[in-house]
Amino acid sequence: MRHLGRSVREVPSVATFKWDIRAGTIDSASVIGVDHIVHLAGAGIADARWTKERVRELVDSRAASVRLLQRAVREHGQVPNSFVSAAGINYYGATTSDRTCVESDAAGGDSIGMISRKWEEAVDEWASMTRVVKLRTPIVLSAEGGALSKLAMPFRWGLGAALGSGKQWMPWVHIDDLVRAYESALFNDRMTGAYNVNANGTVNNEEFTTILARSLGKKVFLPNVPGFVLKATLGEMADLLLAGSRASNEKILATGFEFRFNDLAMALDDLLE
């Protein structure tokens, strides 16, 4: 097993290597003799306000890193058996509708749709070399880091509330199920292309808020946070919180994959106990 990142780390039993995506440099030893590549690189979507420069960084950190890996493999390594990449469930755009999105739908025309499309286009360039799988990931619920800790914080202080209309859908997945999905993508040769990786139990923001509060032993008594407040604070990035549609997971289920956590309350209780 090997780890490729912005710095060399001391990880037991794992060889670590360094790359610099902006400079276009990579330690070629990182790809020599590699059987599978899992691409998780990319600047954090919610780490900073979306300016034109930030959106460009979100795209480049994903697409450019994919192409840098491909260049390194062509020059120094052997072709891997698979290239498995993270992708975003917001590929379909930050919109709220009654429609359930499927993998064959077109990318959204907004910024998040564009970011996701350009990312996947770069990943698809690997298809001429090896099997490609793109896992379109929703909100990942994890006990450490990620979205759940940020969502739970105001509730722990008794200040939690739904966002905007509260009617926007919030596809989600338990971290354990997501890890299992990556294992399936790596070793199930029948998997190829894009897959929505969200649990069956999709809820809207109001429902998510109520269930999260209950899991923390709290009650929701505050009014919804107005959308204009979030937009004034976060800019265009607020659309990710204020809009959302359901996504079908039938394609990944058809491969034989099964989600162990399909009930949000059960997932939260497992992570927040």
> Which residue type does 194 have?
A
**Mean pLDDT score of the chain:** 93
pLDDT > 80? residue 11: no
Q: What is the pLDDT of residues 101-158, one digit of tens each?
A: 999 999 999 999 999 999 999 999 999 999 999 999 999 999 988 889 989 999 998 8
Q: What is the pLDDT of residue 77?
A: 75
Q: What is the pLDDT of residues 157-178, one digit of tens each?
A: 889 999 999 999 999 999 999 9
Q: What is the pLDDT of residue 227?
A: 93
Cα torsion 72, 74, 77, 78: sign: positive
* Distance set, CA 192 to CA 135, 153, 186, 199 (Å): 10, 38, 10, 20
Q: What is the pLDDT of residues 206-236, one digit of tens each?
A: 999 999 999 999 999 999 999 999 998 888 8
Sequence-ordered list of residues with C-beta below 8 angstroms from that of 49, at least 6 positions apart, any chain = 234, 235, 237
Residues 203 and 128: beta-carbon distance below 8 Å: no
Residues 85 and 195: beta-carbon distance below 8 Å: no
Q: What is the pLDDT of residue 235?
A: 86
Q: What is the pLDDT of residues 38-71, one digit of tens each?
A: 999 998 888 888 888 999 999 999 999 999 999 9
Sequence-ordered list of residues with C-beta below 8 angstroms from that of 75, at least 6 positions apart, any chain = 28
Cβ–Cβ contacts within 10 Å for residue 259, how many?
22
Q: What is the pLDDT of residue 19?
A: 92
Residues 252 and 181: beta-carbon distance below 8 Å: yes
Q: What is the pLDDT of residue 195?
A: 98
User: What is the rounded CA–CA span in Å between residue 257 and residue 255?
Assistant: 6
13 vs 84, residue with greater confidence: 84
pLDDT > 80? residue 36: yes
Q: What is the pLDDT of residue 76?
A: 85
Is residue 10 very low, low, confident or very high in pLDDT (cuts 50, 70, 90)?
A: confident
Per the confidence metrics, is the pTM higher than 0.85?
yes
Across the range 166-193, mean pLDDT stands at 97
* Paired strand residues for 169: 204
Q: What is the pLDDT of residue 45?
A: 87
